[in-house]
Amino acid sequence: MKISFSDNRKIFNVHTDGIPRLSVAMLDELGVPNLYSTRFDSSGATGTEKHDPADGGRGLRVVIMKDEDPEEAAPAVLEDRDRLAHFLGSSIEHECITDQKHTANVAVVHPEDLGPVWPLEKPDHLRNVDGIVTDIPEALLTVFGADCPPVYLADPVRHAVGLVHAGWRGTFERIPAVAIGLMKERFGCDPKDIYAAVGPGICRDCYEMGDEVYEAFAGKWGTKDADRIFERYPAFAPDGSEIPGGKYHLDLFEANHMTLIREGVSEDHIALSNVCTRCNADIFYSYRAHRMENEQAAMIVNRFL
């Protein structure tokens, strides 16, 4: 498994024992169990067809896709997530997930929210939600994505963690700030104590956006901030002709970094991804690369050294 990194920073540890996966080096040093999965299962084969064990294996499946029957797909999906959780010393008996609708809504996890179910069975406070926070010891938080980066949050003072799904809409609404605000309110967290990591996702080079998205950010964030996270690239029409003025590209990593800093997280407590899911579509599921057989799981356990 050869991942292409955008620079030489040691942001992630790469694990190839059992199921290939990444973990955030900074969180590893804190003793906080965490991971980001790949498209590989333990055989090292990806199986481009969801139900075809081509080349001796199949791709890892952590979510039920829209074209699948939930009753039929759930057992394999839950099994794969449970296998991942075991690398963190946990299991899906301790897991909380949400239904993820590209919102900036964040929920506090209750003890009764933990367990191996899928979003259709979740209580109302976990519906239409893209982030979760908890101070429950040993709780396992999981979010999913296939280009949208996760943002991991960990407070070793208050022993609380959070995890958000930060696509462009959640990033636009500053979902990491919403999660940190809840951690402050409910658990007494101080942002200066929080460690934050923006996980793998699509890089700016790969993330072409329409002018309307730039205009939305400029209206809400201000032109100066929008110009910091957007850049115009050459672009071409389907017939090969160049589009005058090109197209905007959005840097989700830097946008979430800006939100974390402005929410009071210390610069030396932030790890910023140097892994693009689209550039590494042979390693990760990617919506923009049209490799959406499934998605990745980001996981964090509320456990500290």
Per-residue pLDDT of the chain (305 residues; tens, 9 = 90+): 899 999 999 999 999 999 999 999 999 999 999 999 999 997 544 444 333 333 434 699 999 998 899 889 999 999 999 999 999 999 999 999 998 999 999 999 999 999 987 656 778 889 999 999 999 999 999 999 999 999 999 999 999 999 999 999 999 999 999 999 999 999 999 999 999 999 999 999 999 999 999 999 999 999 999 999 999 999 998 898 999 999 999 999 999 999 999 999 999 999 999 999 999 999 999 999 999 999 999 999 999 98
CA distance 115 to 96: 7
All domains of the chain in start order, with CATH: 12-207+251-301 (3.60.140.10)
Torsion angle (degrees, nearest 10) of CA 121, 72, 201, 189: 30
Q: Strand pairing partners for 141? A: 96, 300
Query: The tokens of 70 are what?
Result: 């939930």
What confidence score (pLDDT) does residue 291 get?
92
CA distance 38 to 20: 7
